[in-house]
Structure 1
Amino acid sequence: MRIATSSSTDSNAMSAVQAVAEEIRSVISSPALILVYYTETQDAETLRQAFRHQFPNAYIVGCSSCRGTMTEKGYVGGHNLAAWAVQDDAGTYGTALCSLSETSDIDTSAKQVLQRAIESSGRPGELPALIALHATPGNEETILRAIRSELGVNIPIIGGTAADDGVSGNWSLFNSDSVTDSGIAMAVFFPSARVSYSFHSGYAPLGDCAVATKVNGRTLLELDNEPASEVYGQWFQNATGQSIDEDDLFAQSTLFPLGRQTGEIHGMPYYTLSHPASVSDDGGINMFCNLREGETVHFMSGTKEMLVSRAGRVVDSANEHERYTCDPIGGIAIYCAGCMLHVRESLDDVAANMNRAMQKAPFICPFTFGEQGQFLGGEIAHGNLMISAVLFHKDEL
């Protein structure tokens, strides 16, 4: 199993893909799977056609990324694309994509995408070692439940929600055959190398918590029967001494999200984070993921320094998870776009930390509007302000 990455800032999409293809082919001759991440300034259909032309025998999944991408060569901002490719003569891979409409049954659609991806790998009836999931915003929890229901067990997932530069709907997905701005894409991995994973928030609870007593979809309406925005605003003021600016909630809440305890390891709880986006007309908080009535919601805190350093720590954790394996030969990471925007002046440091932890093996990392992964305790989840990582190791199964 061999992995290669490449990126380009060329304004001409066709020549950009050609340059990326040439660099990939200098390392591996015949990729089985290619993951492509790109900014909203790219034309997804042109990218689809160009990658299909360059790699007609490879499975391909593309997903838009917020304002840039990252590989072992560093962070690249602005108009660009990056690709991750794997050649694995002893492994198999498969992909599938579907478009969604307002009347789509999300559960059924997700199961069909998973089934088609597994069928395309030539391994029907077998459990993949890893699933890469990319979807457009809004249905991530339903998709994860569908995957769990279809397979019967939790399978490691590396996932990121398609993003654009300003939460304006300019996100997209593609595979070899089609492009969509509303859909689900999956790649399944049956690799010849061992897979390790990690999924972290890195934030800590400050002590304030309340029960979600009224929820409507992704709007948290009430905490302990009080308007959620008022409760959150009081927590924020207690912690910072400042009042919440409702017009700037997204930015202000990046270091102060809400969290739900998902499990614990060695007596230490870990949390799935939810990022407040805006205040609703009825005093609730619009979120980037679903909450359920009756859940306890914790007021969480992080620091800019933590956001810079934790990418490397998450990769270290994935390495420790497979402590008996050899060094990684490559990896995939997902880094929250909200965190990226908060530390954009330090993204070179983020990339350097991740490169160190990856031991300079090739990796790729988009910036997404939601992250999906598997905690070390086994739970698969969709959260915000998270980092998800998977590594592939030299020792064979």
Structure 2
Amino acid sequence: MRIATSSSSNSNAITAVEEIAVEICATNSSPDLILAYYTETQDVDVIKSELRKHFPNSHVLGCSSCQGTMTDKGYVNGHNLAVWSIQDKEGAYGSAVVRLDPGLDVLTQAKTVLQKAIDDSGRPGELPALITLHTTPGHEETVLRAIRSELGVNVPIIGGTAADDEICGNWSLFDRERITADGIGMAVYFPSGRISYSFHSGYAAMGPHAIATKVEGRTLVELNGEPAAKVYSRWYHDATGLDIDPAQLFAQSTLFPLGRQTGEIHGMPYYSLSHPSKVSDDGGIQMFCSIFEGETVHFMSGTTEMLVSRAGRVVNSANEHDKNADVPVGGIAIYCAGCMLHVKPSLHDVAINMSRSMHDAPFICPFTFGEQGQFLGGEIAHGNLMISAVLFHKEEL
């Protein structure tokens, strides 16, 4: 099992893929699976066709990233294409993307793309060791529910919601056959070696909490019967001494999101985070993930320093997840775009921390509008302001 990465900021997409192919093929002459992450400024049609030309036997999954990408070579800001590849003659891999049909049930379509990816791997009826999940914004919880329903157990997931540069809908997904701005993509892994994983928020509950008493779609309308924005503004002012500017809610709330307890380990709770986006006309808060009526919502806090160091800590946690694991041969990480925008001047330090924790193994990391992963307690979840990491190790025990 060999993993290789490459990236290019060349303005010509054909040349960018050629440059990447040369570097990838120095390690992996015929990759079994390719993951491609790119900014909205890229010509996705050309990237798709050129990847297929250079890697005709490879399964492919592509997803757009916010304002740059990160690999073991470092952080790249702006126009970029980054590629991760794995070659594993004793393993099996598959990928699929579906364009959502508004006339059909999302749950059913999510099951379809999972089955297509498994069929594409040539291992029908078997349980994957890992799934990479990428969706366009809006249906992440439904897709996770479909995966649980179809497989019957929680399979480790590393995923991120497709992103663009300015939250304007310029995101996309692709595989070997299609490109879509409204869809679901998955890659399934049956590797010859082991994987280890981690999914963290790194934020702490501040104490204030309330019940979600009214929810409409992804808008949290009321907390404890009061307008949600009013309650959140009160909590924010008590914590910071500052007032929320509704026009700046997304940026101001990055260090103060809302959280729901997902589980606990050794008596310590852990949380899935939800990032407030906008104040709605009725005083609610539009979120980047779903909160359900009756759930307890906690006021959370973090620090800029934590967001910089967290990536390395999450990778270390993935290493520690498997006490018998050797040094990883490579990895995949997902880093929240909201966190990325907050710590942008320090992203080179984030890349260094992550690379050090990866033992300098090749890895790739897009910046996404939502993160999916499996907590160490076993739960798979979708959240915001999270980081997810998976490491690949050479041999089975």
TM-score (norm 1): 0.99
Distance in 1 (CA, whole Å) between partners of 2:369 and 2:221 is: 22
Tell whether 2:193 aligns with 1:193.
Answer: yes
Distance in 1 (CA, whole Å) between partners of 2:395 and 2:264 is: 29
Counterpart AA for 1:231: V
Per-residue CA distance 1:266-320 (angstroms, 9 max, x = gap)? 0000000000000000000000000000000000000000000000000000000
In structure 2, the residue matched to 1:153 is 153
Counterpart AA for 1:302: G
In structure 2, the residue matched to 1:242 is 242
Counterpart AA for 1:262: T
How far does residue 139 in structure 1 lie from its aligned partner after superposition?
Answer: 0.1
SS at match of 2:254: helix
Counterpart AA for 1:299: F
- Within 5 Å, give how 1:285-324 maps onto structure 2: 285-324=285-324
Distance in 2 (CA, whole Å) between partners of 1:242 and 1:104 is: 46
In structure 1, the residue matched to 2:339 is 339
* Identity of matched residues, %: 71
In structure 1, the residue matched to 2:108 is 108
Distance in 1 (CA, whole Å) between partners of 2:17 and 2:277 is: 35
Distance in 2 (CA, whole Å) between partners of 1:142 and 1:331 is: 26
In structure 2, the residue matched to 1:217 is 217
In structure 1, the residue matched to 2:388 is 388
Distance in 1 (CA, whole Å) between partners of 2:17 and 2:295 is: 46
In structure 2, the residue matched to 1:203 is 203
Distance in 2 (CA, whole Å) between partners of 1:12 and 1:103 is: 38
In structure 1, the residue matched to 2:376 is 376
In structure 2, the residue matched to 1:28 is 28
Per-residue CA distance 1:209-261 (angstroms, 9 max, x = gap)? 00000000100000000000000000000000000000000000000000000
Distance in 1 (CA, whole Å) between partners of 2:328 and 2:169 is: 36
Decide which moves more: 95-104 or 326-335: 95-104
SS at match of 2:395: strand
SS at match of 2:20: helix
SS at match of 2:394: strand
How far does residue 119 in structure 1 lie from its aligned partner after superposition?
Answer: 0.8
TM-score (norm 2): 0.99
Tell whether 2:56 aligns with 1:78.
Answer: no
Distance in 1 (CA, whole Å) between partners of 2:221 and 2:102 is: 24
Per-residue CA distance 1:137-192 (angstroms, 9 max, x = gap)? 00000000000000000000000000000100000000011100000000000000
SS at match of 1:272: strand
Distance in 2 (CA, whole Å) between partners of 1:245 and 1:101 is: 38
Per-residue CA distance 1:104-138 (angstroms, 9 max, x = gap)? 31100000000011011111110000000000000
Per-residue CA distance 1:376-397 (angstroms, 9 max, x = gap)? 0000000000000000012235
SS at match of 1:396: coil
Distance in 1 (CA, whole Å) between partners of 2:268 and 2:394 is: 31
How far does residue 325 in structure 1 lie from its aligned partner after superposition?
Answer: 1.3
How far does residue 323 in structure 1 lie from its aligned partner after superposition?
Answer: 1.2
Counterpart AA for 1:206: M
How far does residue 359 in structure 1 lie from its aligned partner after superposition?
Answer: 0.4
In structure 2, the residue matched to 1:273 is 273
Distance in 1 (CA, whole Å) between partners of 2:190 and 2:27 is: 21
In structure 2, the residue matched to 1:13 is 13
SS at match of 1:395: coil
How many residues are paired up?
397
Distance in 1 (CA, whole Å) between partners of 2:377 and 2:367 is: 25
Distance in 1 (CA, whole Å) between partners of 2:126 and 2:101 is: 30
How far does residue 101 in structure 1 lie from its aligned partner after superposition?
Answer: 3.3
SS at match of 1:254: coil
Distance in 2 (CA, whole Å) between partners of 1:188 and 1:261 is: 28
Distance in 2 (CA, whole Å) between partners of 1:103 and 1:157 is: 28
SS at match of 2:229: helix
Per-residue CA distance 1:335-374 (angstroms, 9 max, x = gap)? 0000000000000000000001000000000000000000
In structure 1, the residue matched to 2:129 is 129
Per-residue CA distance 1:183-204 (angstroms, 9 max, x = gap)? 0000000000101110000000
In structure 1, the residue matched to 2:67 is 67
SS at match of 1:103: coil
Per-residue CA distance 1:65-116 (angstroms, 9 max, x = gap)? 0000000110001000000000000000001110013323110000000001
Structure 1: where are the runs of 5+ without partners? none
Distance in 2 (CA, whole Å) between partners of 1:155 and 1:144 is: 10
SS at match of 2:366: strand
Distance in 2 (CA, whole Å) between partners of 1:290 and 1:243 is: 25
Distance in 2 (CA, whole Å) between partners of 1:29 and 1:106 is: 37
Distance in 1 (CA, whole Å) between partners of 2:71 and 2:61 is: 17
How far does residue 46 in structure 1 lie from its aligned partner after superposition?
Answer: 1.0
In structure 1, the residue matched to 2:92 is 92
Distance in 1 (CA, whole Å) between partners of 2:136 and 2:238 is: 35
Q: Could you say what the CA RMSD is over the residues aligned between the two structures, in angstroms?
A: 0.6
